[in-house]
Amino acid sequence: MPEVVFSVDQSKSMRDQAVPGHNRWHPDIPVVAMVRPGDEFRVECREWTDAQLHNDDSANDVRDVDLTVAHMLSGPIGVEGAEPGDLLVVDILDLGPVPQQIGDAPGQGWGYTGVFAKVNGGGFLTDYFPDAYKAIWDFHGIYATSRHLPGIRYAGITHPGLFGTAPSAELLASWNQREQALIDTDPDRVPALGLPPLRDNALAGTATGDVADRIAREGARTVPARENGGNHDIKNFTRGARVFYPVHVKDAKLSGGDLHFSQGDGEITFCGAIEMGGFIDFRVDLIKGGMEKYGVTTNPIFMPGNVEPRYSEFMSFIGISVDHDTNTNYYLDATVAYRRACLNAIEYLKKWGYTGEQAYLLLGSAPIEGRISGIVDIPNACCSLYLPTEIFDFDVRPNAEGPVKKDRGQCAVTS
Amino acid sequence: MPEVVFSVDQSKSMRDQAVPGHNRWHPDIPVVAMVRPGDEFRVECREWTDAQLHNDDSANDVRDVDLTVAHMLSGPIGVEGAEPGDLLVVDILDLGPVPQQIGDAPGQGWGYTGVFAKVNGGGFLTDYFPDAYKAIWDFHGIYATSRHLPGIRYAGITHPGLFGTAPSAELLASWNQREQALIDTDPDRVPALGLPPLRDNALAGTATGDVADRIAREGARTVPARENGGNHDIKNFTRGARVFYPVHVKDAKLSGGDLHFSQGDGEITFCGAIEMGGFIDFRVDLIKGGMEKYGVTTNPIFMPGNVEPRYSEFMSFIGISVDHDTNTNYYLDATVAYRRACLNAIEYLKKWGYTGEQAYLLLGSAPIEGRISGIVDIPNACCSLYLPTEIFDFDVRPNAEGPVKKDRGQCAVTS
Amino acid sequence: MPEVVFSVDQSKSMRDQAVPGHNRWHPDIPVVAMVRPGDEFRVECREWTDAQLHNDDSANDVRDVDLTVAHMLSGPIGVEGAEPGDLLVVDILDLGPVPQQIGDAPGQGWGYTGVFAKVNGGGFLTDYFPDAYKAIWDFHGIYATSRHLPGIRYAGITHPGLFGTAPSAELLASWNQREQALIDTDPDRVPALGLPPLRDNALAGTATGDVADRIAREGARTVPARENGGNHDIKNFTRGARVFYPVHVKDAKLSGGDLHFSQGDGEITFCGAIEMGGFIDFRVDLIKGGMEKYGVTTNPIFMPGNVEPRYSEFMSFIGISVDHDTNTNYYLDATVAYRRACLNAIEYLKKWGYTGEQAYLLLGSAPIEGRISGIVDIPNACCSLYLPTEIFDFDVRPNAEGPVKKDRGQCAVTS
Amino acid sequence: MPEVVFSVDQSKSMRDQAVPGHNRWHPDIPVVAMVRPGDEFRVECREWTDAQLHNDDSANDVRDVDLTVAHMLSGPIGVEGAEPGDLLVVDILDLGPVPQQIGDAPGQGWGYTGVFAKVNGGGFLTDYFPDAYKAIWDFHGIYATSRHLPGIRYAGITHPGLFGTAPSAELLASWNQREQALIDTDPDRVPALGLPPLRDNALAGTATGDVADRIAREGARTVPARENGGNHDIKNFTRGARVFYPVHVKDAKLSGGDLHFSQGDGEITFCGAIEMGGFIDFRVDLIKGGMEKYGVTTNPIFMPGNVEPRYSEFMSFIGISVDHDTNTNYYLDATVAYRRACLNAIEYLKKWGYTGEQAYLLLGSAPIEGRISGIVDIPNACCSLYLPTEIFDFDVRPNAEGPVKKDRGQCAVTS
């Protein structure tokens, strides 16, 4: 077990830790620990909402969650010798829920998957499922099961939803500029088109006074992935993966969190994967001048781990960029196509007795693969969704007799 | 070797075969052979453009290709007892290039990958690569190599780009309506937003006279995937796959072609994968009333084959829905995000000495995986592209020294 | 399709081909075709017994088979520039049954698995199953099924049972010496401990007169694997594999045959895998002085192909080096341990309704894996056998209720 | 984290734990904790020699190890309702080194692989490597590296070497009878043919007085696998595996230990894999009368986990049942064949600069696969060994130039 350079007491808010983390991206958030190229170290993480969600059977907490506090990140960790233009090489050596603990915070033996209400966050299928829903998952070693999703059991592909380096001041400004421009195209939209900087509930790490105030005013929200990495939600950032992050500021300033026990490609539920607090063990190194050497000018590149569970059979669902309800055609729109693939999967699962909400929660959390299959066959983009059949404890494949529909209960809903 | 129910002489145009196929979707195209549930049979296929492309070192044929003849499909094969509402179960037992032949038609020992010129077809990156390009691939058993892409060798995941059942008259009308509505939003766009029915070069199978004329006038173009299956370009429709097609007309009327020796997710080159003629061996069965039983009302569902090559190491590239050139943000646009992932991969490959065009051709044809990673983290969709490192005969992974840039020639270009 | 350098008319005996092959190992068998390093070429093969087995429902042909004619090999192919001490690099580009043909010879649309009678060949479990048995397999594209083994279907991992280079005169003499020494320890044993050279039915390729006679007198039998490669029966010599054969004579003289559509590790049935004639496409190259460079002084080394079917669930059976019937302990004897693992698997399969003979035939032909698990824990060696559950069309896993025993017919037996 | 039903303080001998375990198999060892079918629980384990081996650079501890204390097992755990004839279903939910600790006992951040001296234990290649050797492995999350084996890094397939149920008195007597009969055939052999019961250093759990004395006199040694499970050393008993153990006594009495961070098939080094103490999380269930229902009368059956690292490229080595040094032929002896495959792999690795001892240690600990390839081709058994190329940080594949031989240091040796 490597040295812990950022520690979290799961019984306390991130704000009340001995060394607090942060929930905005800004170059001036002070480094909390320095490491050297070649070092291995552990970072402990708080669940992304700072544990506003509970291990119970009501989705009221999802409905009422305060999203201004998200994401609660651990860091920044400084890397000696890192300079703008370098690539920071990050190996994920191990990652898991809070070790050796059972408790009330997500990650202490359990996690959750939620769907935000349309009026407070939304999700990929928010027009079809506008309310808040939740499923609680219990961890059994490397497996998870949910009392809200009977008949399902799978091994977690643990990964961080969100890690990244600090932006430079210039990069931060360009983010704020382009996102505001997008928001300005439809400022009253629900859900919003984007999330501008917000002072409310901003946490600036160990910064105080004017610095903290500037961070709160200018700091980019942590929801989207950007040029520093950030909230990729790539489930293949799992144990054994190597990520090459662009370095935009001196010391790189690596921060992150939002650990997931498991997630489906797309994290379509938004709130989200199987969310948890926990730990992540890193090894870091540097490729000096690597951004130019390898042409890595926008997003990180990475090599996925080779320790994912091995599945050999899938039920796969196709979607095309057509809204079949209105017979409306979209032009090569992969987002629409993937949404239709998800809806098609949900219709299929309903035939076996799951509610639509349960199926939605399943697709957000289980190790499904979302593929862009055809992106040039005008006008229809084609996406496909691969659901491993082995995660079900019944035979979910089509046969001549038809599906066996069973009462499979319901997820947590609002009261 | 099962009975051949549709045969092709590769030295002749599809129009001149003893029993010709067709290049439009229409319910009235006459069945050319009947099979029964449980039957196994072989369908021979012509390359999709009817062999307009040649095994040479010029991309002029790509630039000048006549797209009104595409796709040249084999069929329709009628299935006894199939009725609207059923699911047609199709097992792909085997699929390959033209057996035991070397010759001038694609599939006779070779295939090609092309990029259309922006003014004649376009492609996923047409704003970045507006001209026509081509790479010729030689088949070596299950492997392909290209004189236009030195240093690359991989096993083909052979699959049909396009198979489907016939639409009903009502379904056909709804396609034509919705696609025309899309085209009407920008009728002069280059490339076009969609392809309406077109009498020029229509081939109506064995239909003649008024029937043939109506098919030519009304028949849907074969480019996009739709509710009958069609041009999915899903590389996982490979040997061992089982597809469940909705049945929209009596006898189902299964047709297809556009065989690929290999393809990357997205088929970003459009012209396209490694294109070839060849054969496909099927087994068919029926699930009576299966559309309602399984909730399959729009697109087919399928189970992918388990005989893909097994890769364990990938270089992966990320894209988000931002146009970095103009710092413009798009809202959860997976199409933009995947395009950026492709462009990022191309920049990386250029550092090793490939031209951008070569890299583009590689990504369209090699077994890359295109994933929708995050689709809810407003405003940025996040896609990722997985390139297996084993297809290169050099070490393509990043290291501290930087890439070894080598002259790797060039693909076929126009003169 | 590469040039055919050794062709076979499957309607004729290997003896009656335009250019006959051979069925003994000897340095003086004349080369029938020369190839160069870098060449790709096709070799056509006859089924190993020269098609003495038939597509029928009696095992009399297995009982009465004449084993002195085996194995009927194609070759030798000479490789220009090959000299003793080199490594011959052999890529398996493709391999399959007889292309485009249905007929009476194994490989023409079908194959078989047999178990020899104890008095004529024997097998791994001959003390438990002393009679002759047979199962006929029909090929369905890449899959095989058997009317003698209902409920089973799997994709073939096609491979050659036997390929190798010619021995030098010295090496040949050492083989004959050591094998005779073994035979002499129990010369009357049934089955025999080894097979010495035998003039009866020897086929010396294109050699005639005194040379042919000497080959018949001295030539090593083809049954075991030896320092030249030979009858490895390694199912991982499949498409995509690269084998490095030691070169013992000028031009290397590559010969082989005994193609298998599928085989379980160990080929425990002896007669054998799913046996067939067919074709194999090779690419060859040389590593000059490679035996010394890489320390390859006894057996070939190889790199297996990466296109095997991907299974993720197995029923596994353990055996230890104890004869439980007599409570006799053997010392770290992996042969006994693997035999017990096979017998344990058979007992399990009998509970589902297969006869012991059927189960035996299944384990010889299906893609089971045989592992040496523990080989040091005195006195018990421990072996394990992995049976993929996906090859069954019913759920073969244990559950609380117990297995569903069904009448599953019987294999072909003797009359 | 499930309830700990057997806890270990790694700073103390197993003898000095609050509740000690045992190191012999006997039906009368008292149950230390009861669980129910459906329960999940944790068992903590001591390294098998009770931590006689140290994290240093001398193999003297291996040379001088006292093997009479092995294996130090945790348990027995009683399962309510288990009766002779049942199958005990054991799911391995998780398994790893000692959590959250760095220390002096194997498993506290490190492990070791040793080779016993021929005069004290021996090993699979003891005639070729008669001395004692050791390599220390450092754990880095899921990976291990060794200062004694530079250039190597791999993910652990963690598994228990040894778990099993208690034998009945009759079964125990039959073991002692058959093993003594074997020993009697050559009682003075070095290494010994078997290990009879031995009072020295016997540990009988919580038994005292006469009971403890009888256990010490009669109890079977723990080295071999037997009808109760025991020391299988099957690396596929990894996380996600399900084992079905025969129940021979009331309450089943599950005990075990000998945890491995990684192991190669065969555990050829004997002392052994990467040895460690740690924890294992189980879920248990019962199949009443399962031994008869499923024909499981001798050894357990199991289903391996699906979370092994995924490798796609291997260097493979073949061995046949011939002693090439003396040109002696053995009859279908898989033990000899696998030994030759191991020796061939070692010769290959020596060409790259490893010493033979280093290569031997590597093959015992890395995730190599040992396959029984051909077991019927008289007289030569054929085994093959698969070494994943990805565990090396250099390109270990053959090429025309020959291997790059480098000084790669040496393992720990004796002084």
For residue range C263-319, list pLDDT tens digits in order: 999 999 999 899 999 999 999 999 999 999 999 999 999 999 888 888 989 999 999
Rounded Cα distance, D109 and D99, in Å? 9
Q: Residue C318: which residues within 8 A CB-CB, separation 6 or more?
A: C341, C344, C373, C382, C383, C384, C385, D225, D232, D234, D299, D300, D301, D302
Any idea how long chain B is? 415
DSSP state of A172: H
CATH architecture of C3-303: Sandwich (2.60)
For chain D, the structural domain boundaries read: 4-303, 314-413
Rounded Cα distance, D260 and D252, in Å? 24
List of chain C residues whose C-beta atoms are within 8 Å of the C-beta of residue D298 = 319-320, 322, 324, 340, 344
Q: What is the ipTM of this complex?
A: 0.97
Q: What's the token pair of residue C318? A: 């353990």
List of chain A residues whose C-beta atoms are within 8 Å of the C-beta of residue B220 = none
List of chain B residues whose C-beta atoms are within 8 Å of the C-beta of residue C140 = 2, 40, 93, 281, 283
Phi then psi for residue C276, to 5 deg, are: -160, 160
- Cis preceding linkage at D76, omega within 30: yes
pLDDT in tens, B126-152: 999 999 999 999 999 999 999 999 999
What is the structure's pLDDT at B355? 98
Chains that touch C (3 or more CB pairs under 8 A): A, B, D
Q: What's the token pair of residue B381? A: 């969709």
Helix or strand run (H / E) with residue A137: strand A133-140
- The C residues from 248 to 267 touching D (CB cutoff 8 Å) are 265-267
D100–chain C nearest CA distance, Å: 31
- From the options 2.160.20.10, 2.60.120.580, 1.10.10.10, 3.20.20.370, give the CATH code of D4-303: 2.60.120.580
Are the CB atoms for B140 and C40 separated by under 8 Å?
A: yes
Rounded Cα distance, B336 and B333, in Å? 6
A390, C313: Cβ pair inside 8 Å? Answer: yes
Name the average pLDDT for chain C.
97
List of chain B residues whose C-beta atoms are within 8 Å of the C-beta of residue D386 = none
- Interface check for D198 against chain C (CB to CB < 8 A): the answer is no
List of chain B residues whose C-beta atoms are within 8 Å of the C-beta of residue C240 = 142-143, 155, 309
DSSP E strands: which ranges in B116-167? Answer: 133-140, 143-146, 154-155, 159-164
Rounded Cα distance, B172 and B166, in Å? 9
Say which of A40, A99, A307 has its CB closest to residue D99. Answer: A99
List of chain A residues whose C-beta atoms are within 8 Å of the C-beta of residue D393 = none
Q: Which of A161, A164, A123 is nearest to A24 (CA)?
A: A164
What is the structure's pLDDT at C148? 98
What is the structure's pLDDT at A310? 84
List of chain B residues whose C-beta atoms are within 8 Å of the C-beta of residue D310 = 310, 312
pLDDT at C332 over 90: yes
pLDDT at D103 over 90: yes
- Beta carbons within 10 angstroms of residue C208's beta carbon: 10
Q: How many CB pairs under 8 A join B and C?
A: 81
D194, C378: Cβ pair inside 8 Å? Answer: yes
Q: Which of D93, D88, D38, D92 is nearest to D244 (CA)?
A: D88
Q: Which of B84, B380, B302, B182 is nearest to A322 (CA)?
A: B182
CATH architecture of C314-410: Roll (3.10)
C266, D376: Cβ pair inside 8 Å? Answer: yes
Q: How far apart are the first and last CA of chain D?
A: 44
* Residues of chain A where predicted confidence (pLDDT) is lower than 70: none
Nearest CA in chain B to D310: B312
- Interface check for A314 against chain C (CB to CB < 8 A): the answer is no
Rounded Cα distance, C402 and C415, in Å? 35
Rounded Cα distance, D336 and D334, in Å? 5
List of chain A residues whose C-beta atoms are within 8 Å of the C-beta of residue B269 = 376
Q: Which fold has domain D314-413?
A: Endonuclease I-creI (3.10.28)
Are the CB atoms for D6 and D184 separated by under 8 Å?
A: no
Poorest-pLDDT segment among A85-99, A308-322, C142-156, C334-348: A308-322
pLDDT at B1 over 90: no
Are the CB atoms for C13 and C210 separated by under 8 Å?
A: no
Secondary structure tally for chain D: helices H, strands E: 6, 23
Q: Confidence band (pLDDT; 50, 70, 90) for B95? A: very high
Q: What's the token pair of residue C71? A: 């194995």
Phi then psi for residue D211, to 5 deg, are: -60, -45
When pLDDT is averaged across residues B295-317 and rounded to a whole number, the result is 93
What is the structure's pLDDT at C180? 98
- Interface check for D311 against chain B (CB to CB < 8 A): the answer is yes
Q: What's the token pair of residue C271? A: 């007669």
- Where residue C100 falls (left for φ over 0; alpha for ψ -120 to 50; beta otherwise) is left
C294, D403: Cβ pair inside 8 Å? Answer: yes
What is the structure's pLDDT at C342? 98
Say which of B94, B140, B143 has its CB closest to residue C141. Answer: B94
Helix or strand run (H / E) with residue A343: helix A334-350
- Interface check for B190 against chain A (CB to CB < 8 A): the answer is no
- Interface check for C38 against chain B (CB to CB < 8 A): the answer is no
pLDDT at D1 over 90: no
What is the structure's pLDDT at D215? 98
List of chain B residues whose C-beta atoms are within 8 Å of the C-beta of residue A233 = 373-374, 376-377, 382
When pLDDT is averaged across residues D270-289 and rounded to a whole number, the result is 97
- Interface check for A100 against chain D (CB to CB < 8 A): the answer is yes
Q: What's the token pair of residue C255? A: 């010969």
Are the CB atoms for B374 and A266 separated by under 8 Å?
A: yes
Whose tokens are 């178990």? That residue is: C115
List of chain C residues whose C-beta atoms are within 8 Å of the C-beta of residue D320 = 224-226, 298-299
- CA A354 centroid distance within chain: 24
- Beta carbons within 10 angstroms of residue B176's beta carbon: 17
- Interface check for C196 against chain B (CB to CB < 8 A): the answer is no
pLDDT at B372 over 90: yes
Report the residue of D154, D306, D313 to disrupt the B interface, i.e. the one with the largest count of B CBs within 10 Å.
D313
Rounded Cα distance, A146 and D134, in Å? 45
A41–chain D nearest CA distance, Å: 10
pLDDT at D350 over 90: yes
Whose tokens are 């924890």? That residue is: D279
- For the entire predicted model, the pTM comes to 0.96
pLDDT at C201 over 90: yes
What is the structure's pLDDT at A306? 86
Residue D40 carries which side chain, given as an amino acid letter?
Answer: E
The CA distances from residue A283 to A37, A39, A93, A241, A333, in Å, are 8, 6, 7, 11, 39
B309, C306: Cβ pair inside 8 Å? Answer: yes
Q: Which of C375, C195, C181, C287 is nearest to D340 (CA)?
A: C375
The highest-level CATH class for domain A314-408 is alpha beta
- Interface check for C293 against chain D (CB to CB < 8 A): the answer is yes
Are the CB atoms for C17 and C6 separated by under 8 Å?
A: no
Say which of C309, C312, C395 has its CB closest to residue A311. Answer: C312
Q: What angle do CA D304, D390, C298 make, to 5 degrees?
A: 90
List of chain C residues whose C-beta atoms are within 8 Å of the C-beta of residue B95 = 141
- Interface check for D301 against chain C (CB to CB < 8 A): the answer is yes
pLDDT at C168 over 90: yes
A155, D306: Cβ pair inside 8 Å? Answer: yes
Rounded Cα distance, D313 and D397, in Å? 10
DSSP state of A51: S
C348, D294: Cβ pair inside 8 Å? Answer: yes
Report the residue of A4, A39, A283, A306 to disrupt the D interface, i.e. the one with the largest count of D CBs within 10 Å.
A306
List of chain A residues whose C-beta atoms are within 8 Å of the C-beta of residue B375 = 124, 266-268, 335, 338, 370
pLDDT at D310 over 90: no
Q: What angle do CA D363, D365, D371 make, to 5 degrees?
A: 55
Rounded Cα distance, B288 and B290, in Å? 5
- Interface check for D178 against chain C (CB to CB < 8 A): the answer is yes
Say which of A141, A308, A311 has its CB closest to residue D93. Answer: A141
The CA distances from residue A288 to A89, A165, A294, B12, in Å, are 10, 15, 11, 58
List of chain D residues whose C-beta atoms are within 8 Å of the C-beta of residue C380 = 224-226
pLDDT in tens, B178-204: 999 999 999 999 999 999 999 999 999
